């Protein structure tokens, strides 16, 4: 299982506490953050298949994660994750920066839909969490998510929950609002 809140929390700490302005700062290209995320996801994969920038739909989502179909039925083989990253390199600070980063997360979701990235998900996966992350230098990343599902491989993906922007990490999602993604009580996928 992948514990998404644990991974996002670790990513936030890695960026804000372990890196230097010489490692990442204004102007840092997206691929630096991409490789950090890819490394974390690959290390935590637990039998999942992690693919970086696979051809999918009309483009290349940043990272796809899914489980092989041959695993036991009670496993997480019907779930998938799609990650899309954005970087904001503006000079804003505080609330203005937060707002710009939230707008970038929303743009990432538009891109996922427009480019039809869901087509890269294997037929056996019927539920997916789309996770958008915006980075800006050494600021805490802004996360967004939405859950989509389909009845079978021939059906179109339909949004179930989410689309919201989270200012820190996924554990703060309120289950009361029906935004608990495709996870159990521990937010494990």
**Ranges in the chain, pLDDT < 50:** 168-189
Through-space distance between the first and last CA atoms of the chain, rounded to whole angstroms? 5
What value, to the nearest 5°, has the Cα angle with vertex 146 and ends 67 and 160? 90
CA gap 117, 51 in Å, rounded: 13
Axis-axis angle for helices 30-43, 4-13 (nearest 10): 130
pTM of the full structure: 0.81
Q: Which residue is listed with tokens 């890819």?
A: 38
Residue 51: Cβ within 10 Å count: 16
CA gap 30, 187 in Å, rounded: 27
pLDDT, position 41: 86
pLDDT, position 175: 31
164 beta partners: 145
CA gap 187, 183 in Å, rounded: 5
């Amino acid at each position: 299982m992948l514990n998404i809140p644990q991974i996002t929390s670790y990513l936030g700490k890695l960026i804000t506490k372990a890196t230097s302005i010489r490692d990442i700062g204004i102007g840092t290209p997206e691929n630096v953050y991409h490789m950090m995320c890819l490394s974390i996801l690959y290390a935590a994969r637990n039998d999942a298949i992690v693919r970086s920038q696979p051809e999918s739909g009309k483009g290349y989502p940043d990272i796809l994660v899914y489980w092989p179909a041959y695993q036991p039925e009670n496993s997480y083989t019907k779930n998938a994750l799609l990650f899309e990253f954005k970087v904001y390199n503006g000079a804003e600070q505080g609330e203005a920066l937060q707002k710009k980063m939230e707008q970038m997360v929303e743009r990432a979701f538009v891109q996922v839909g427009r480019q039809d990235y869901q087509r890269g998900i294997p037929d056996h996966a019927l539920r997916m969490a789309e996770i958008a992350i915006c980075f800006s230098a050494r600021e805490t990343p802004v996360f967004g998510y939405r859950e989509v599902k389909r009845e079978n491989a021939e059906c179109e993906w339909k949004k179930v929950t989410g689309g919201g922007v989270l200012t820190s990490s996924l554990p703060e999602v309120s289950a009361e609002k029906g935004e608990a993604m495709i996870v159990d009580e521990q937010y494990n996928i």
